[in-house]
Structure 1
């Protein structure tokens, strides 16, 4: 089993239905590293590669009813992968006798045939439960270049092939909304299954995300799922109203990220000035990325939930012209004060707090916040 305190020497039988979920998790998210050795010809390695969805997050259109949700989850044929009479899922054909995977075809092989592991479940005598399992390598060949239809593709800043947006257990789903609504940009491309959603259904469609926060090797951090309110009615599709809402979501999200980055800097600055002051309090401070101090993480953990509330509030129709930075900076100042709440009360700490707050307020120079309001 993937989760639980069990040993190979004393396996615990589990119901077959539950074992199927563990099987899916292993084939799609299984880590790299040691596994049961398997011999093909003279080759007998005992290590496997990470699963095809390792450390990634997938996004799915979520309808009010199960049938619509399942129908929307079936991707249209990709340009590079058309229909094939030979398309079969791995369990529908004979067991492979080589480490060369079958050619990817649509939809079965694309969705189910990219596993890097092979798994064997040992059934109980009555076939109602699974009593043991063997996990070994499936192939060590380079993965076939096939786009996953459920992921956001991000573009590397230095150029190169796009990559699936990684899962982050600390990142709320609303921070990915602009990438899900906009058609695409030089930075990201929305999931392929979000293209050509039925216009009549969009106002009722939410987004469900599934993520597995992993390091890509052996460490599993957290598994999570999240669901938005109905937002796919704002999807950019060429109509003026949707175009404006999609870009409005992007602007508000960008503002939240800018304030979050500045808060991270401000908290690190306050720590530096409090614990390692220079001779000139007004001089430029050089921050050490390896010594952020404890306040940055504490401040951000308080800021992001508050920023989410501000974000949804700003998307209300009556807030159409509201400048986003003022409300977000207020949330950041409050988060900073809470993080610095236990700091010693002396002149040095007070100066550090004041300078850190000033860096945040500088994000809204046209309408500065007074200390009395914050």
Structure 2
């Protein structure tokens, strides 16, 4: 049996404790805990305290799978009473200790982070034979926030010749990031059954933004984040990778999910193996390569907003560091939000999360990045308590949330078009994009629009007794228009001291109102078009 760093017992997960919780003996609570203590004391923990958003999103999916197993919520059951059984766990106020202890006792040998000669957690020990030991990835490649090879520095300066070894806890979280957000493209060569390849497919969450219900404790968060299994799901068949008896065959089609647990933990396109230092407390190196050859696992996930392209292809809403979370709110609360040709679909988890609590918040976690190597920015944002306004819970009020969002976005688009038109007319170049002006206008408008959105959101009636929640479309229109006008005036003011500039700014200003100037005889029609306002 392997010995060393076991994720069940070792402090690997950063947490934030609920106010007033103290340790019985010393009063001091640890900043990190192992999986066992995390689940046993999830009711005492406020939330995970993971700085890297993609690691946070990945670990939540692992914890959902563990929660479902220890709480006996892996299938609907003969009576289809899954919702009732989840509420029974909620009423108990904590996850069942017997279930936690029994699970980790059965799978203790599968949770070793380093297991030379064994089967380390979420890793493939065959890589020592299938990959070239002289061409490992290195720890700088493993830790996504570090520069490696010829890449630019992001958060810190590191060199491949003298890397700082990551602790086991850091390596554990980075392992998760690779499984869920790993890039496509060239990787370490892996030879299987005489066939050698060095090309990997992007991870299942790469470029995507995931949305999670969040409660007042980690216990509430985990229960709210569970997705009801489909009627045909059999719990003993819906297994996580570390519960499988055999390692997957890389030269065969990838395994298909058998339910929520395997769907959210077993879709990695990358195979990794961490190599420990002599003490077994740090990772000294890593193998990183492809997991399956020639075929991508189906992109399924219940925590993403799914959209449809013009070609009819389904894809997750991408992470965008420049897009605030309030702009996605109606797509989270409405099963069929009014959001144009993309036809966004509400993440499945939000159809039942409100059963746990009406005071749940939404947390968005993701990574603004490209499909291959380029990484831009982590995204970690949260809302106030909003799930009480979910469509099934408050059908009279929640449509107002959609119209409120539409007004904010409409005047943001009009502002962008107006400053582009003003710049183009001022420089007398129809192809000028006015990037400097649009960036400044957006920086002035969107933060204030977000504050306006939440201020008006808090005024909506949540009882369901008032039609449209008391939403006032005329006042909302005036408020967002005023913000757009102020941003437009501030950005364009420097050029209004000349006749040419004043004329360009005056004419383009009409775009803020969704109108366009009449064309003169012999001139081309203006490319600006009237924007359809939200109904209401």
SS in structure 1 of the partner of residue 192 of structure 2: coil
Residues 1:245 and 2:397 are matched in the alignment: yes
Residues 1:212 and 2:364 are matched in the alignment: no
Change (3 A) 1:299 1:128: same
* Partner residue in 2 for 1:29: 181
SS in structure 2 of the partner of residue 271 of structure 1: helix
Equivalent runs, 1:352-363 vs 2, <5 Å: 352-362=504-514
Counterparts of 1:10 and 1:34, CA distance in 2: 24
Counterparts of 1:167 and 1:329, CA distance in 2: 27
The structure 1 residue matched to 2:262, chosen from 101, 106, 109, is 109
Gaps of 5+ in 1: 278-286, 364-374
Question: 8 Å contact 1:36–1:134 — kept in the other structure?
Answer: yes
Question: 8 Å contact 2:331–2:344 — kept in the other structure?
Answer: yes
Counterparts of 1:329 and 1:107, CA distance in 2: 44
Residues 1:229 and 2:391 are matched in the alignment: no
Equivalent runs, 1:286-297 vs 2, <5 Å: 287-288=430-431, 291-297=433-439
**1:247, distance to aligned residue in structure 2 (A):** 0.5
**1:8, distance to aligned residue in structure 2 (A):** 3.6
Residues 1:271 and 2:428 are matched in the alignment: no
Residues 1:189 and 2:345 are matched in the alignment: yes
The structure 1 residue matched to 2:229, chosen from 77, 91, 103, is 77
The structure 2 residue matched to 1:96, chosen from 245, 248, 264, is 248
Give CA deviations for 1:78-125 in whole Å, capped at 9, x if unaligned.
46x612523332233333343332232223321111111111111122
Equivalent runs, 1:23-62 vs 2, <5 Å: 23-62=175-214
Residues 1:163 and 2:305 are matched in the alignment: no
Change (3 A) 1:109 1:200: closer
* Partner residue in 1 for 2:455: 313
| Equivalent residue pairs, number | 347
* Partner residue in 2 for 1:304: 446
Counterparts of 2:256 and 2:382, CA distance in 1: 34
**1:252, distance to aligned residue in structure 2 (A):** 1.1
Moved more, 221-230 or 180-189: 180-189
Counterparts of 1:320 and 1:111, CA distance in 2: 38
Structural RMSD (CA): 2.1
- TM-score, normalization by structure 2: 0.61
SS in structure 1 of the partner of residue 238 of structure 2: coil
Moved more, 146-155 or 175-184: 146-155
Gaps of 5+ in 2: 1-142, 147-156, 462-469, 516-536
**1:10, distance to aligned residue in structure 2 (A):** 2.7
* Partner residue in 2 for 1:180: 332
Residues 1:2 and 2:144 are matched in the alignment: yes
Counterparts of 2:161 and 2:377, CA distance in 1: 26
Question: 8 Å contact 1:155–1:161 — kept in the other structure?
Answer: yes
- TM-score, normalization by structure 1: 0.87
Residues 1:119 and 2:272 are matched in the alignment: yes
Question: 8 Å contact 2:250–2:291 — kept in the other structure?
Answer: no
Give CA deviations for 1:309-351 in whole Å, capped at 9, x if unaligned.
2212223148632522211111011111222244362011111
Counterparts of 1:150 and 1:292, CA distance in 2: 36
* Partner residue in 1 for 2:410: 258
SS in structure 1 of the partner of residue 242 of structure 2: helix
Give CA deviations for 1:136-164 in whole Å, capped at 9, x if unaligned.
111134334353010011122x2523211
Question: 8 Å contact 1:153–1:162 — kept in the other structure?
Answer: yes
